[in-house]
Structure 1
Amino acid sequence: MSRQSRNTGVALVVVVYNMPEQAKKTLYSLTSHYQQGVTESDYDVVVVENRSLNNLPADFIQSLPKNFSYHLRDEANPTPVFAANYGAALCRRSHVALLVDGARMVTPGVVKNILRGHRLHHNYVVSVPGYHLGRQLQQRAVEQGYGVVEESQLLASIDWPRNGYSLFDIACFSGSCAAGLFKQHSESNCISVPKSLWDHLGGLDESFDHMGGGLVNLDFYKRACEAPGFDHVLLMGEGTFHQFHGGVTTGGIERRARESLIGQFQSQYRALRGSSFEPPRTTPIFLGEIPKQLMRFIRSSSQALDQTSTQVGTGEPLRSVPRIS
C-alpha cells in the first residue's frame, strides 16, 4: 500500500471520560457494521479515554474493530482538551474529525458523507448538526426526572441500532442547533477538517482550562468554519445524538451552579478572544441524503426561517443566538 493511499480518508477522534455505557453506543455507531457505504479501510477511529473510576471494560476494548485504536491517559485537568489534541496528533489520515464528547451517537451516513464532502474539495470543513435524545433539552428534562432509565426505554422503543435514523424520532435539537437547520449553529460535536487545517489552527486551544473545556469546542468550530479560503459543508441529513450522562452543561449539576459555570465559560472566552462568542458567519453547503425521519425538523426549521426578520436574498448570513449544547 502506498503512503498516499494509506493517508487518504478520515480519522475520527473520540474523547471519553466516565461514561462507559454511553461510549459503547457511540463507538458502535462508528463501526462499519453500522455506518453505511464505507469499509474499515476508509477511516480510523482513535478512542482517547481520560482515566476515571468507570473506564471502558477491557473485554469491550479488545472487541473493537481493527480500524479502531484505544488510548488510556491520566489527566490531571477536568477537561477533554488535552485528550483531543493528543488523539489528533496520532492521526495518520488526510483529515481529522473530532467528537469531543464520547456520549454522542451518530447516524449511519456520517462517515460516508464526511468522506464525500472532503472529496468534493480539499478546502471543505464538514460538520454534523447536534441533537439531544429525549423530547426536550436534557438540561430541562433532568429536572422532570429524565435519566439513563428513561433514555434506555426510548432507545428500546425504536429498536436501535437496527435503524440508526430512527434516532430522529426520539430527539430534539441541541441548544447549539436550536435555531434550526437553516440558521447559524454555535458548534458541532462532529466536525471534520483537513489535517493541515487542524495543524494550522493548533487544534483545540489549551488555554480553555475550565471544567469540560468551557467554550473550547465552540471556539474551534468558529475558527475552522471561518478559516480563510475554506467553505463550510453541513451534513443536514445526519446527526449526533447526546446521551444523558450527567455532563457539565447537560444536567449533571444543579441549575444555578450550571448557569454560574456557563457565565465563567463566557467570561473566559471574552478574555481570550476579546469579544463575546458569536456563531461563525458562514453560508453552508448542504450535502447528503434526507431520511424521512428528519422531515419534522426540516418543517420546524423552515418555520423558524419564515419568522426571521432577516430578508432572505440580501446576502447577509442568518444568525442564531449562541447556545451551549
Structure 2
Amino acid sequence: MSRPALSIVVIGFDMARELPRTVTSLLPPYQRGVAPDEVEIIVVDNGSTQPLRRELFPAEADVRVLRVDEGGVSPCRAINQGVALARAEHVALMIDGARMVSPGMIRAALDAAALHSRAFVATLGFHLGPKVQQVSVEEGYTREVEDRLLADIGWPQGDGYRLFEICALGESYAMGVLVPPTETTFFVMRKAMFQAIGGYDERFVQLGGGLASFDFFRRAVEAAGDGFIMLVGEGTFHQLHYGATTQAGGVRREVDPGVSLGDLYGREYESIVGQPYRRVDHMPLLVGRITHPSVPRLFFATAG
C-alpha cells in the first residue's frame, strides 16, 4: 500500500447521521485535485453509545475505524491515539466529526503546508443554518430543516461551495481571518510537529475537551512562527448534533447554580496552563482564493 499524502483523523461520538457526510466531503470526487490514494481517513469512535461500523463509509475508500472506550467525555485521548496511527507525513484533525468541508480543502491545505517547513495550516469554521446553532436551535432550527437546506443546494452532488450560502460564522471565528481565531476546526501539520509539541493535552477532561483546542492552537501557532497559515475560501460546516458547545445556550448554559459550562472550561484551562486563556496575537499568512461570492463577506468579516 502506497503512503498517503495526508492522514485525516476524525473524532466522533454518537454521530451516525453526521459522520458519513463528513467522510464523503473528505474524499474524491467531492474533493477536487486529489487522488483517492492521497488520502487516508482514521475515524475515531470516542465511546459512542452504538459503536461505529466501517460499513457506514465507502467500501473502496481508505477509511479505518478505531474504537476508544477509555477516552471519557473529552476527545483528547482519542485524538492522540488516532494521530499515532497516521501513515502520512502530514496529518489533519477534525476534533468534531460533524463538520463537512468545502471541496478544495485538502488540495489547498496540502499546497499551503508545502510553503513552510513548520507549517500549521488552519481554517475557519461555520455552522449550517442562519445563525450559530446554539442560537438557531432555540428559533426552530432542527436536523430536518438542515436536511432540507442541504437538499436545496444539491449537496453533495452539486457545487459544494454553495455551503457558503447556508451558513453562519462560528463564534470562535466571528472576526474572520483578519484577527487570529481562538481555535480551528480543521488543521494540517506534520505528524512529527504534532507529536513534538505534545499533541492534545489529556489533562483536559471536561465535556467536549473544554478549552483543549484553544490550548493546542496556541502551542501550534507558537511552534509554527512564520509558518502559521490561514486558508481563505475553504472552511468546515457544522452539522447539527446537539454537541457540548453547540446545543441551546452553548458554553453560557448553566451546569450548576450560577456556574456556566464556560466557567468550568476557564477554570480547568487556568489550572492546567497556569494562567487565564488569552488569544494569540501572531498574524497568519493568508493563502487561498475567492471560491464563492459569499467568501469576502464571511472571511473578511471585520472589514465592514
**Do the aligned residues in 1 keep the contact of 2:123 with 2:230 (CA within 8 Å)?**
yes
Aligned with 1:74: secondary structure? Answer: coil
Distance 1:195 1:84 in 2: 12
Aligned residues: 298
1:301 equivalent in alignment to 2:302: yes
Question: Which residue of 2 is the match for residue 18 of structure 1?
Answer: 14
Runs of 4+ with deviation above 6 angstroms: none
CA drift at 1:79? 1.4
Distance 1:30 1:301 in 2: 29
Question: Which residue of 2 is the match for residue 257 of structure 1?
Answer: 254
State which of 143, 149, 152 in structure 1 corresponds to 2:147: 152
State which of 24, 27, 47 in structure 2 corresponds to 1:51: 47
Aligned with 1:237: secondary structure? Answer: strand
1:80 equivalent in alignment to 2:44: no
CA drift at 1:252? 5.7
Distance 2:34 2:105 in 1: 10
Distance 2:169 2:29 in 1: 26
**Do the aligned residues in 1 keep the contact of 2:9 with 2:82 (CA within 8 Å)?**
yes
**Do the aligned residues in 2 keep the contact of 1:17 with 1:55 (CA within 8 Å)?**
no
One-letter amino acid matched to 1:167: L
**Do the aligned residues in 1 keep the contact of 2:71 with 2:78 (CA within 8 Å)?**
no
Distance 1:78 1:7 in 2: 32
CA drift at 1:287? 1.2
1:110 equivalent in alignment to 2:111: no
Structure-1-length-normalised TM-score: 0.86
Residues 1:208 and 1:164: Cα distance change in structure 2 (over 3 Å): same
Distance 1:174 1:273 in 2: 25
Which stretch shows the higher mean deviation, 24-33 or 252-261?
A: 252-261
Residues 1:286 and 1:87: Cα distance change in structure 2 (over 3 Å): same
CA drift at 1:256? 2.9
Judging by fraction of residues, say which structure has more strand: 2
Which stretch shows the higher mean deviation, 152-161 or 221-230?
A: 221-230
Unaligned stretches of 5+ residues in structure 2: none
**Do the aligned residues in 2 keep the contact of 1:46 with 1:68 (CA within 8 Å)?**
yes
1:275 equivalent in alignment to 2:285: no
Which stretch shows the higher mean deviation, 242-251 or 221-230?
A: 221-230
1:211 equivalent in alignment to 2:207: yes
Distance 1:300 1:47 in 2: 33
After superposition, residues 1-325 of structure 1 pair within 5 angstroms as 6-7=2-3, 9-61=5-57, 63-75=58-70, 77-161=72-156, 162-227=158-223, 229-251=225-247, 256-257=253-254, 260-293=260-293, 294-298=295-299, 300-303=301-304
Distance 1:17 1:45 in 2: 16
Distance 1:83 1:242 in 2: 20
Distance 1:230 1:87 in 2: 27
Q: What CA RMSD, in Å, does the superposition of the two structures yield over aligned residues?
A: 1.9
Structure-2-length-normalised TM-score: 0.92
Residues 1:174 and 1:64: Cα distance change in structure 2 (over 3 Å): farther
**Do the aligned residues in 1 keep the contact of 2:204 with 2:210 (CA within 8 Å)?**
yes
One-letter amino acid matched to 1:115: L
One-letter amino acid matched to 2:276: S
CA drift at 1:253? 6.8
Distance 1:198 1:280 in 2: 18
Aligned with 2:14: secondary structure? Answer: coil
Distance 1:282 1:169 in 2: 30
Aligned with 2:233: secondary structure? Answer: coil
Distance 1:211 1:119 in 2: 35
Which stretch shows the higher mean deviation, 117-126 or 93-102?
A: 117-126
Distance 2:216 2:71 in 1: 22
Cα displacement string for residues 275-298 of structure 1 (whole angstroms, at most 9, x for unaligned residues): 221222222111122112313324
**Do the aligned residues in 2 keep the contact of 1:124 with 1:233 (CA within 8 Å)?**
yes
Distance 1:219 1:45 in 2: 24
Unaligned stretches of 5+ residues in structure 1: 304-325
**Do the aligned residues in 1 keep the contact of 2:178 with 2:300 (CA within 8 Å)?**
no
One-letter amino acid matched to 2:175: A
**Do the aligned residues in 2 keep the contact of 1:191 with 1:221 (CA within 8 Å)?**
no
Aligned with 1:128: secondary structure? Answer: strand
Distance 2:268 2:139 in 1: 31
Distance 1:253 1:185 in 2: 21
Which stretch shows the higher mean deviation, 71-80 or 90-99?
A: 71-80
Which stretch shows the higher mean deviation, 116-125 or 100-109?
A: 116-125
CA drift at 1:7? 4.9
Identity %: 36
